Structure 1
Amino acid sequence: MVNRATSLRRTTTGAEAKLWTVLRGARLNGWKFRRQHPIDRFVVDFACLKAKLVVEVDGATHGSPAERDRDAERTRVIEAAGFQVIRIGNTDIRDTLDGVLQSILAAVVGRDHV
């Protein structure tokens, strides 16, 4: 799983790279995020371990019925590990990054007691 996470870090999407520039180094109000972090049998896009929050970045392929089923199973497993999962679309990151960051910040603050 660690090898897969390392590989995914090398092949990041444009939206993931853009979001990572503002999440890395605890730049979001001091909240530390990890990129391509293993949880159970999955590697998640971003994880804030302190708040037990996962941020998944979804592209156009996540709209198909098969991908929605796969994402639902993935979310179920990650939530069973105690994490909340939020999904952000590539276009949202591209078009409304400030709004995306506000949503993520609200989620981590809301999970701070976990």
Structure 2
Amino acid sequence: MLTERARAMRKGATEPEQRLWLALRAERLHGLKFRRQKVVGPFIVDFACRRPMLIIEIDGDSHASRREYDESRSAFLHQCGYRVLRFANHDVMTNMEAVLMSIVEAAGQPPLPILSPEGERA
């Protein structure tokens, strides 16, 4: 069951979180089932996938001053068996394809196909 804090975070998602969620939800990315604003121990993570144990965090500008906190949080999540990937808001907004490829690679899935330029046959 979601906590009140998780509900509030879900309603107030940032634009990068919303954009990434559109790519991850409903098993759209290689059939990986992600949950949004998942409670893991004392923390609420942006996105979590149980198979494989993978957590995706989207970091805004405020995370630059919270490095120690983020490192201790990641250490706890690693102890719970999760691999943690962090992406900056800027990366999600300007290079979504690279973000998704990194997630797929971390999940141990085959890479996304490289599409040939229009008009060429592979």
What are the superposed Cα offsets for residues 56-77 of structure 1, whole Å, 9 maximum, x if unpaired? Answer: 000111112xx00110111011
TM-score by length of 2: 0.85
Counterpart secondary structure, 2:85: strand
Select the structure of larger CA radius of gyration: 2
In 2: Cα distance, 1:62 partner to 1:71 partner: 8
TM-score by length of 1: 0.91
Shift of residue 2, structure 1, vs aligned partner: 2.4
Equivalent residue, structure 2, for 1:18:
19
Shift of residue 8, structure 1, vs aligned partner: 1.0
Counterpart secondary structure, 1:109: coil
Equivalent residue, structure 2, for 1:46:
47
Equivalent residue, structure 2, for 1:32:
33
In 2: Cα distance, 1:19 partner to 1:80 partner: 25
Gap regions ≥5 residues in structure 1: none
Equivalent residue, structure 1, for 2:119:
none
Number of residue pairs aligned between Structure 1 and Structure 2: 108
Shift of residue 3, structure 1, vs aligned partner: 2.3
In 1: Cα distance, 2:8 partner to 2:105 partner: 30
Equivalent residue, structure 1, for 2:79:
80
In 1: Cα distance, 2:4 partner to 2:103 partner: 27
More RCO (CA 8 Å, sep 6+): 1
Equivalent residue, structure 1, for 2:94:
95
Structure 1 runs (4+) deviating above 3 angstroms are none
Gap regions ≥5 residues in structure 2: 110-122
RMSD (Å) for aligned C-alpha atoms: 1.1
Greater helix fraction, Structure 1 or Structure 2: 1
In 2: Cα distance, 1:36 partner to 1:50 partner: 17
